[in-house]
Amino acid sequence: MATARHSDDCHAICSGRAQADSDTLSRLLDLLEYQGKQLFARHGVPVPDGKPADNVDDAVAAAEEIGYPCVIKAQVLIGGRGKAGGIKVAESEPEARGAAEAILGMDITGPHGEGPFKVRQVWIEGASQIAAEYYASIILDRSAKKSLAMLSTMGGMNVEEIADKDPEALVRQYIEPGEGSFGTKEAGRLASDAGVDEDVREKVAELLVKLHGAFDASDATLIEVNPLVVTKDRDVVALDAKVTIDDSALFRQEEVAEAGEGEAEDPQEQMAKEKGLTYVKLDGDVGILGNGAGLCMSTLDVVAQAGGSPANFLDAGGGSKAEAIIDALEVISSDDKVNAILFNIFGGITRCDEVARGIIEAYGRVDLDLPLVVRLDGTNSAEGLRLLTDADIPDLHVEKTMLGAAAKVVELAKAKAGG
C-alpha cells in the first residue's frame, strides 16, 4: 500500500490545520508521479509522453522509443528526487543505460527525512525545453469544505518556501462545489493574479480547469504540479505530478485503485484489499477488528490506554456474516506480529447475536491459534454473549465493556509474547 500521509505540507499551509487528516479516518493514497500523469492525461492535462520500466533493459528500450534527450525519473512517493539524484537527462542510449543503472535500486530520502525509499521503477519521458517553472495545486480544504486552487510563478520551490519568501507570489482561490464552478474565466483570473506571462495565460487557465476536472473525478484530496512549465515553444506542460486520493472513495475509483496496486505492498494490506476490507497496518502486537471505522479508532485508543500496542486494525464494516468474519480473521492472523486479537462490536443495525453466530461458524472453518477477545454491546448483546459463552470456544474471551476487553487483550498478548 502506498504510504498514507496524514498531514500534508500543503494542507497545513492552506487550512492552518496540519492535523486535519489525522482527525478523520480516511486514508490517503498517494500515486506515483507517472500514475498521476496518466490520470492527468486521461483528463486532457498536457504531460510529456513517457513509459514506466522496472529494469534497465526496459528503461533503455523506452528511452530509444521516446527519443533523446529524455529524462529518467525515479518513481518513489516523495518529492525532492531531482536533488537526491533520482532524475537524470540522457542524450543517448549509453547515457540512458547509465542513468537507469544508477537510479534503479538507489535509496532516496525525502527532503524532510522521509524514507529511505528504494527505487523499483523509473519513468522515462521526453525532456522539455524549460523557459519558466510555475507551481500549481488544488487541495481539498476540509475545514472550508471546498477545494482551493493555488498558483505561483515561483515553481521549483515547495509551497512553504514560496509562502515564506514571498506570500504575495502564491495566489489562492476557493472553488465552490458544483459543476462549472471553475471554468476558464475563474482560472484565468488566478493566472493573471499570479502574474503568469500574458501569452500563456490562456493555456495555463485551460490546464488548471482540466486539472480540476481530474481532481474532482478522482476524489483527490491533493493535486500538486511542481513544476508546471512553460516551454521554449510557449507550451504549458505538467512536468511533475503529486496526487493524493481519498482511500475511502477507492471503491468508485477502480482505475486509480488498480494503479495503486503495482506498489510494493504489505501482504496483509494486499490480502485485505482483495477481500474488500479496510485494513490499516500499525506497529504493535494486538490485532483489532471492529465494525465501523469510528469504533475501530476508539478501540485503538482504549488498547493504548490499557498499555497495549495495536498491530493493525481492520474495519469489518457491517459484516456479521461468517464469511466476512473469516476473511477478517484470516487477514489479521496472517500477520506474524499479532499476539492477540480484539473484536470490538457495537451492535446497531448489525445485531450482536448474528455476529456471535458468525464468529462461532468462523471458528468451525478457520484454524485460529491466537487468543480472541470479543466485546459485544448494543442490539441483542445479551443473546450474543449467551451464544458465545455456550459455544465454549478455547481461547475465546467474552467481555462486556470496551475497557475490560482492552485490558484482557493486552494481558493475553503479553502472555503470548512472553511464552
C-alpha cell read off for 336: 506474524
Smallest gap from residue 267 Cβ to Mg ion (A): 31
DSSP symbols for 147-196: EEEEEES-TTS-HHHHHHH-GGGSEEEEE-SSTTSS-HHHHHHHHHHTT-
171-175 vs 130-141, strand pairing mode:
unpaired
Q: List the strands of the sheet with 396-399, edge to edge.
A: 278-281, 310-315, 286-290, 340-347, 372-378, 396-399
Contact call for residue 239 and ligand ADP (CB under 6 A)? yes
- Annotated active-site residue 134? The verdict is no
Touching ligand ADP, residues 136-195 (CB under 6 A): 156
Contact call for residue 52 and ligand ADP (CB under 6 A)? no
| Residue in 82, 98, 195, 378 binding ligand ADP, rule: CB under 6 A | 82
| Residue in 36, 188, 227, 290 binding ligand ADP, rule: CB under 6 A | 227
Give the dihedral sign, CA 412/414/416/419: negative
Which of 114/202 has CB closer to ligand ADP? Answer: 114
Smallest gap from residue 126 Cβ to ligand ADP (A): 6
Burial status of residue 390 (CB atoms within 10 A of its CB: 0-12, 13-18, 19 or more): exposed
Smallest gap from residue 79 Cβ to Mg ion (A): 5
Q: Give the integer Cα–Cα distance in Å for 266 and 384.
A: 34
Contact call for residue 384 and ligand ADP (CB under 6 A)? no
Q: Which helix (H) or strand (E) holds 301?
A: helix 293-305
Contact call for residue 36 and ligand ADP (CB under 6 A)? no
Q: Which residue is nearest to Mg ion (CB)?
A: 240
DSSP 3-state of 70: strand
From Mg ion, ligand ADP, none, interface partner of 125 (C-beta below 5 to 8 A by class): ligand ADP
8 Å CB contact between 51 and 123 = yes
Would you report the helix, strand and coil content of the chain in percent, each value rounded to 5?
A: 40, 25, 35
C-alpha cell read off for 356: 456471535
Of 224, 269, 330, 399, the catalytic one is 224
Smallest gap from residue 221 Cβ to ligand ADP (A): 19
Which of 90/259 has CB closer to ligand ADP? Answer: 90
Residue 92: phi and psi, rounded to 5, are -155, 170
Of 34, 125, 133, 135, the catalytic one is 135
From Mg ion, ligand ADP, none, interface partner of 156 (C-beta below 5 to 8 A by class): ligand ADP
From Mg ion, ligand ADP, none, interface partner of 87 (C-beta below 5 to 8 A by class): ligand ADP
Smallest gap from residue 188 Cβ to Mg ion (A): 25
8 Å CB contact between 220 and 244 = yes
310-315 vs 286-290, strand pairing mode:
parallel
Touching ligand ADP, residues 260-279 (CB under 6 A): none
From ligand ADP, Mg ion, none, interface partner of 404 (C-beta below 5 to 8 A by class): none
Which of 227/310 has CB closer to ligand ADP? Answer: 227
Smallest gap from residue 53 Cβ to ligand ADP (A): 15
Burial status of residue 126 (CB atoms within 10 A of its CB: 0-12, 13-18, 19 or more): middle
| Residue in 2, 56, 71, 132 binding ligand ADP, rule: CB under 6 A | 71
Q: Give the integer Cα–Cα distance in Å for 86 and 108.
A: 7
Which of 226/381 has CB closer to Mg ion? Answer: 226
- Annotated active-site residue 224? The verdict is yes
| Residue in 8, 21, 125, 335 binding ligand ADP, rule: CB under 6 A | 125
Contact call for residue 127 and ligand ADP (CB under 6 A)? yes
Contact call for residue 290 and ligand ADP (CB under 6 A)? no
Q: Give the integer Cα–Cα distance in Å for 403 and 410.
A: 11
Smallest gap from residue 360 Cβ to ligand ADP (A): 52
Q: Mind telling me the catalytic residues?
A: 135, 224
Q: Which residues would be at the binding site for ligand ADP (CB under 6 A)? A: 48, 71, 79-82, 87, 125, 127-128, 130, 133, 156, 226-227, 239-240
